[in-house]
Amino acid sequence: MHPVADMEKHKRLSSAEREKLGARLEKAYAKGVSIAALAEEQGTSAGRVRLILLERGVTLRPRGGNTRKPDPERQKRAKSIASEYASGASLSQLAANHNISASTARGLVLAAGGALRARGGSKAASKG
């Protein structure tokens, strides 16, 4: 796809130019070209490409994000840590025992489907 002649980031396009560009963007996007790639190719912003596609009624694909497959080792570790947590270990204790941060311990407990206790441990439970 060739850029529109003299396409500039903030240049206003006539209706005809915008229609022509929109049709080309829509066609390329339907073939799987990303919005970022289209923007770079056209010398404009991703936001502008996205807006033009939306104006044409194009249903946008979900954004990238985490597309990795679950790691069996991480899942096994998460279940083990969640089990220790359920048995009474604190997030701080888990962090120290497994050489990870408390935040990572928390994330692994949640990833394994565990529920977090109220903050303060036994202190919070004894208040009444």
Ranges of residues in the chain with a pLDDT under 50 are 2-6, 124-126, 128
Check residue 124 and give its pLDDT.
47
Mean pLDDT, rounded, of the chain: 84
pLDDT of the residue at 11: 74
- Taken as a whole, the chain contains a residue count of 128
Burial, 99: exposed, middle or buried (Cβ in 10 Å; 0-12, 13-18, 19+)?
Answer: exposed
pLDDT score of 91: 93
65-98 confidence digits (pLDDT tens): 666 777 888 889 999 999 999 999 999 999 999 9
Residue 24's pLDDT is 94
The SS3 call for residue 11 is coil
